[in-house]
Amino acid sequence: MSNKRDNKGSNSMWGGRFAEGPSAIMREINASIPFDKALWREDIAGSRAHVAMLAKQGIVSETDAKTIDEGLQQVAAEYEADGVPEDWDLEDIHMTVESRLTEIVGPAAGRLHTARSRNDQVATDFRMWVRTAMQRAISGIDAVLGGLVQRAEEHADSIMPGFTHLQTAQPVTLGHHLLAYFEMLVRDRSRFSDALARMDECPLGSAALAGTGFDLDRDMTAQALGFARPTRNSLDAVSDRDFALDYLMAASQCSLHLSRLAEEFIIWASQPFGFVKLPDTLSTGSSIMPQKRNPDAAELVRGHAGRVIGCATSLMVTMKGLPLAYSKDMQDDKPPVFEAAGLLDLSLAAMAGMVADSGFNTDRMRKAAEAGHATATDLADWLVRQADIPFREAHHITGAAVKLADEKGVALDGLTIEDLKAIDDRIDERVFDALSVDASVAARASYGGTAPIRVREQAKEARKRLEEF
């Protein structure tokens, strides 16, 4: 009988990767430095604010505080130049910074952690990082909004088919269509802005969960780190990740809207539509078919939306059953937020470029609107207004007109007055004033409608709103 198992000793059950046994597994599963090193700037900023406050309160000496602060600045310079080293035995960014600080300044570094815990430290670091991500998302949204307004102004008169069920419904203007996305993204912007206001509280000073017996000035550290106020409850401060969930929910909704716009560009760029030519910088060719121009950037924006939504779901599931205050599960709060932020930033940048630099084939759009009998509703409305026909009867008459136009291969306004009178003799020459796509969009002049005059007004108002942000 083979004694190979015995030769490996007790660690054989752990396998090659974990040859050191349980300690190796614990070391790897416990280490967050591979991802939370992204927080090094926030961690050092928080430590500098904390030690300055400790000195002001007389908890550490001015000399030690100055030594620690200078050491932290050196650590920051090293990380900026060379990146953050990964020592899994140090677990996380907090211990990594403190270890390097100790190497630089000696025992004085040990005073830095007075009156704080890694629990309030990471809550502060992460909150600051998410705050920056939210501000970055708002800037990215503003870039897309600016492009949408610009193109809407250019195409206030450009007629295209409006769709329901992806079937031609009524003619609209391209400007009107683009401003619909402007409204969606303005709401997305407001969600990030609202979230920023809600999270504007600093956890630092909450310590592990119960506060501290040291006489801290939490208002000082909050202000130093750009927060409006300190958090009100130490338990909530270290266990809350609502700010991260707020970011992910806002990012999810924003990604949904970007995905819808990307899908429209994908459809419009296809040969059966031919409504738009995507910029070369955001398209790729085929490795085998030389005629192809693939909407890869738009497809990736569409795909990224699913991943962002997955990130939001991930963190919600992580947090759903945790008792107060801190549990190690919360170490998994950062990867989904980091991933979502990277995806959202890319998606916003891609869509800003796509909106700004795509070329619209307005002739093709107009012909599609005309070919799809998009003015059928206008004919029905005319019959109601001018011939005093009940709408249901008018709907039936219009259906007959559409059928005849299909048989003759013309648009509704291509039918002769004789054609129309043969369907219903109450129709007269005035009907042609309502049957063109131009007349149709011009008639939709209610507030928020697609009439060019309204689109120009809405574009002007949109630009004003954008400037006021």
Q: Which residues are tagged catalytic?
A: 165, 286
Q: Is residue 378 packed enough to be buried (19+ CB in 10 Å), middle (13-18) or exposed (0-12)?
A: buried
CA dihedral 371, 373, 375, 381 (to 10 degrees): 170
Q: Is residue 154 packed enough to be buried (19+ CB in 10 Å), middle (13-18) or exposed (0-12)?
A: middle
Query: Which residue reads 């369907």 in tokens?
Result: 423
- Which tokens go with 294? 């693939």
> Does residue 123 have a cis bond before it (omega within 30 degrees)?
no
Given the DSSP bridges, would you call strands 201-202 and 229-230 parallel, antiparallel or unpaired? parallel
> What gap in Å lies between CA 391 and CA 402, rounded to an integer?
16
> What gap in Å lies between CA 155 and CA 52, rounded to an integer?
56
246 with 127: CB under 8 angstroms?
A: no
315 with 333: CB under 8 angstroms?
A: yes
Q: Is residue 145 packed enough to be buried (19+ CB in 10 Å), middle (13-18) or exposed (0-12)?
A: buried
Helix (H, G, I), strand (E, B) or coil at 359: strand
> What gap in Å lies between CA 425 and CA 417, rounded to an integer?
10
> What gap in Å lies between CA 332 and CA 315, rounded to an integer?
8
